[in-house]
Amino acid sequence: MRPPSLTGVLVLVAVLAVAGAFGWWRRRHDGRLRAVRERPPGAADRDASAAVGDAPHRATLAALGVRPGVVTLVQFSAPVCAPCRATRRVLDDVTGRLDGVALREVGVDEHLDAARDLDVWRTPTVLVVDAAGRVVRRAAGVPDRAELLAALAPLTAGAAR
């Protein structure tokens, strides 16, 4: 039996370092709410599949049951997704604490086209839709309850308690 070569050891150390860095990055970003930017003027002209503004997203969201005038949390989930169940518990708690916030759970297996239109690549993904029907924030993974409540506070400021 030959002793391991220095090249093999270096490759192993490099692979472990890359895997560790990816794990650290993923853990740091998983579940974080990030702001969603509107399309810049003229973006619809450059993208043949997009209409003016958010019109395609609004139509997709309306098809999923998002009503205008209501702040809505849209959770994309799958039946075999364990983090989706934890996300549902967080979203149920948040919608129970705030008036004027609705929750829609969408199965990606039944609504694959909607998931593609809304750029959903993993489950769970949570979209925060304002009363005007725009996606203003999104999180991939289980969102932090406090961060979600803070993001919803300005959107629900006018809701009666």
Average pLDDT over residues 77-89: 93
Q: Percentage of the chain surpassing pLDDT 70?
A: 84
Per-residue pLDDT, averaged over 57-86, amounts to 91
Kindly give, in sequence order, each residue whose CB lies less than 8 Å from that of residue 105, ignoring residues fewer than 6 positions away: 75, 77, 88
DSSP lists the bridge partners of residue 73 as: 103, 128
- Residues 53 and 47 sit within 8 Å (Cβ to Cβ): no
Global pTM value: 0.74
> For 32, which DSSP code?
-
Who has greater pLDDT, 51 or 95? 95
pLDDT of residue 12: 87
pLDDT at 133 over 80: yes
Give the mean pLDDT of 92-107. Answer: 92
Q: Rounded to an integer, what distance in angstroms lies between the CA atom of residue 36 and that of residue 90?
A: 21
4-22 pLDDT per residue, tens: 678 888 888 888 888 888 8
Query: Does residue 26 or residue 126 have the better pLDDT?
Result: 126
**pLDDT at 127 exceeding the cut of 80:** yes
Helix (H) or strand (E) holding 59: helix 55-63
Please state, rounded to an integer, the average pLDDT across all residues of the chain: 83
Supply the pLDDT for residue 96: 92
> Per-residue pLDDT averaged across 81-86, rounded?
92
118/139 Cα distance (integer angstroms): 12
Check residue 42 and give its pLDDT: 45
Strands 101-107 and 71-77: what pairing?
parallel
Best CA proximity match to 60, nearest among 117, 101, 9, 134: 117
Q: pLDDT at residue 49 above 90? A: no
Strand partners of residue 77: 107
Inform me whether the pLDDT recorded for 30 exceeds 50: yes
